[in-house]
Structures are given as C-alpha cells and as structure tokens.
Amino acid sequence: MEFLFGQRKTPEKILRQNQRALNRAMRELDKERQKIEQQEKKVIADIKKMAKQGQMDAVKIMAKDLVRTRRYIRKFIMMRTNIQAVSLKIHTLKSTNSMAQAMREVTKAMATMNRQLPQIQRIMMEFERQSEIMDSKEEMMNDAIDDVLGDEDDEEESEAVVSQVLDELGLSLSDELSHLPSTGGSLSVADGRKAEPQSTLEDAEADLEERLNNLRRNKVDIILGDGFRVTSALYQSLVISNSPPTSSSPLVNSPI
C-alpha cells in the first residue's frame, strides 16, 4: 500500500523495523525460558518428594520430563543467541548504511566546491587587487601626512643633535687621554677638533696603556722640557732631590 501511494520505505526504516522484531522475539524467548526454568524447579521438587515416598516409577518418569525440560532450555538459549547475532548484523548494516550516506553527502559537497573553484579564484584575485589599491592609498596618505607635519626636518634635526652629542663624548674622551703623562712622543688633541673614529681611539688607548706599563717597568725614557731624555727611575730621584739633570749624568741620554 505504501508503494502504491508513492511512499517507499528507506533502508534505515526497514532495518529499524527488523531490529524491533528481533528484540521482540528475544524478549519472548526470555519469558518462555523463565517459565521452563520455573517448571524445572517444580519437577526437581516433585522428584525429591516422590523419592522420599518410595515411588520409584514416578521418579523415573519425572526424571525423563526433567531431561526434556533442560533440553528445551538449552534450545531457547541457543535461539536467543542466534537472534542476537542477527541483531548485531543489523546494527552493522545500519552503521555501514550511515557511513555510505555520509560519504555520499561529502561527495556532493566536494563536487559543489569543485564547481565553485573558478568563482573562488576570481574572488581571491579581486581581494589581492583591492589589497594592493588599499596599500597604495595608505602609502599616499602617509606621504601627505609627512609633508604636512614636516617629519623630515625633525629627522634631520634629531640626527644633528645625535651627532653633536657623539662629538662631545669623543672630545671629552680625547681630553682625558691628553691629561695622561706622555713618553717618547705626544698625544695631542686640538681644541674644537672632531673625535676620531672609534677604531683610532681604541688604538690610541691601547698604545697609551702599553707606554704606561713600560713606565712602570723603568724601560721607557721621559722627555724633559730642555730636550733631554732620562729614565723614569732617574726622573723620580731628581724630583725627590729637586736637582735638575745634567748631560753628565750617567742615566741622561743625548738631547732629542
């Protein structure tokens, strides 16, 4: 009737109906088995009663009935197990059918997306073009703002301030180096002269430190104002005695 009226059963509905029928059959088998088990208990009780009364013929007949009852119980258990196996197969079919339906829907979605790929590509190209336009407009606006606010002049002025600070730092370092005692040569820095590069200053510091070390070891001569060169040891003794050195002193070298 359903087919005549155009209502066709789907596989899911058919499997659901069969599943309900199998569950109903298993419940009926369980009820029958419980009834037979109760009958088995009653037969066992009757056998014990007849055995106490000494009616052995009745005991033998009832023992055969007990054997048949137990055989039917095993049959009911076996049938229920078979029905349960069929029910599990139906569950498997339902799962397989659900997976097939899902795969079909996914396939449809993938086909739809593949058909829309050219449109998506056009959208991405338009997005890229609009992004480039926006970047160019933003750059133009930034340039206009920089022109209005005069950031370039501020940048040049800030660079000039930084250069001035660095020059002052270089001059102060040169002044400190000029106050140190000189040996065999002179380290002079002209007033108002810009600081030398960092590598030149480092070389001057290293040379000055080496000269000071030689002074401590009494191996370097000290230049006096008269052009005479004396050792550091003699210079220290002369300072203590407050007597100027002469050319006849054994530790005095020839004039420079």
Contact 195, 173 (CB under 8 A): yes
Q: What is the pLDDT at residue 150?
A: 59
Q: What is the pLDDT at residue 185?
A: 47
Written as six digits, the tokens of 240 are 């203590």
Q: First-to-last CA distance in the chain?
A: 135
The Cα-based distances of 182 to 169, 171, 189, 231 in angstroms read 22, 18, 13, 13
DSSP label at 181? P
Q: What is the pLDDT at residue 199?
A: 63
Burial pattern 172-206, b for ≥16 Cβ within 10 A else e, equals ebbeeeeeeeebeeeeebeeeeebeeeeeeeebee
Q: What is the pLDDT at residue 224?
A: 47
| pLDDT tens, residue order, the chain (256 aa) | 455 555 777 777 888 888 888 899 999 999 999 999 999 899 899 888 888 888 888 888 888 888 998 999 999 999 999 999 988 888 888 888 888 888 999 999 888 888 888 888 889 899 999 999 999 888 888 888 777 765 556 667 777 777 777 776 665 555 555 665 555 444 444 444 444 456 677 777 777 777 767 666 654 444 444 444 555 555 555 545 544 545 444 444 444 4
